[in-house]
Structure 1
Amino acid sequence: MPIVVDVDVMLARRKMSVGALADRIGITPANLAVLKNGRAKAVRFTTLDAICEVLQCQPGDVLRWEPADADRSPERATPTAD
């Protein structure tokens, strides 16, 4: 998936456990683990807001985009007339 979740990086920087963060933002540790491990299909803005508030960070500190496949660069994705 091209969206990478870096919650674990921010947890390490803040020296906080997954359980402590889950408790402070009001979701289960299992649901936070789904997000943290990149298995979530979506995240509510209210959850993202709570994560950022507790970890004192910006959304870009916990979410980032990476290309899904290096072979699908824009140059290769556009058909050419030969």
Structure 2
Amino acid sequence: MPITVTLDQLLADRGMTGKQLAETIDLSETQLSLFRSGKVKGIRFSTLERMCEVLACQPGDLLGFEPGAA
């Protein structure tokens, strides 16, 4: 898939774990893990908004695009 999830790098940059983020934004660790691995087909804007607020980032900082990737 040409869309990549770059959340792991943001978490590392912020010194935060996935578990801490999940607890802070009131999301299950399983759902966050699925997002991190790129196995979800969509994400609610409200969830994306909470991630951006906590990580002090823009939505584009959480996702990347690699043309030609299958």
TM range (shorter): over 0.9
1:34 matches 2:29: no
Which has more radius of gyration? 1
The CA deviation at 1:64 is 1.4
Q: CA RMSD in A?
A: 1.3
Q: Distance in 1 between matches of 2:37 and 2:17?
A: 14
* Distance in 2 (alpha carbons) for counterparts of 1:26 and 1:10: 18
Cα distance in structure 2, aligned partners of 1:4 and 1:43: 13
Using the aligned pairs only, state the percent identity.
46
- Which AA in structure 2 matches 1:18? G
Q: Which has the higher contact order (CA 8 A, sep 6+)?
A: 2
- Cα distance in 2 for residues equivalent to 1:69 and 1:56: 28
Normalized against structure 1, the TM-score is what? Answer: 0.80
- Structure 1: unaligned runs, 5 residues or longer: 71-82
Distance 1:46 1:68 in 2: 30
Aligned to 1:12: 12
Structure 1 moving runs of 4+ over 6 Å: none
Aligned residues: 70
After TM superposition, the score normalised by the length of structure 2 is 0.93
